[in-house]
Amino acid sequence: MIAVDSSVLVRYLVQDEPDQARLATAFFEERLSDRQPGFVSLVVLLEMIWVLRRGYRRPAEDVAEAVAGLLQARQIHLEHRDAIEAALAGDAADLADRIIHELGKKAGCTETVTFDRWFARLDGVSLLEE
């Protein structure tokens, strides 16, 4: 496996910097395979989500679609795939928040606490307040 940084992943998805986009595309489409997959850690995935949502102002639906595409790509290995799949099934909060909540559940946590009112709409997420 070859670990992939979020800068390469974002450049491949966004295709906005011609030289880097060309290199990223060649890497994903020519160098990676079933036998030599790219490893996308959860940190990289969450950073990618943040960059696409905040930096590029991409709609949540587009970002979720990009993550779903990564899940389907045979040449990509995503860390904590099951938590990511479960998070994609939800719709009440930001995808990154849903991944955080799913990882907590996977670790045996009984709830997730937050100051984020939107995130607190999820089942099992509580708003931390007085």
pLDDT at 93: 63
| Res 72 pLDDT > 80 | yes
Cα distance between residue 129 and residue 101, in whole Å:
18
| Res 128 pLDDT > 60 | yes
Q: What is the mean pLDDT of the chain?
A: 91
pLDDT at 67: 94
Containing domain of residue 112, as a range? Answer: 2-127
pLDDT at 39: 97
Report how many domains make up the chain: 1
Mean pLDDT in residue range 52-78: 93
Q: Calculate the alpha carbon distances from 87 to 14, 35, 42, 117 in Å.
A: 22, 27, 13, 18
Specify the DSSP element, H or E, that contains 78: strand 76-78
List the CATH number of the domain containing 35.
3.40.50
Q: pLDDT tens, 16-60? A: 999 999 999 999 999 999 999 999 999 999 999 999 999 999 998
pLDDT at 92: 52
What's the whole-model pTM score? Answer: 0.84
Q: pLDDT tens, 87-108? A: 998 765 688 888 888 899 999 9
pLDDT at 18: 94
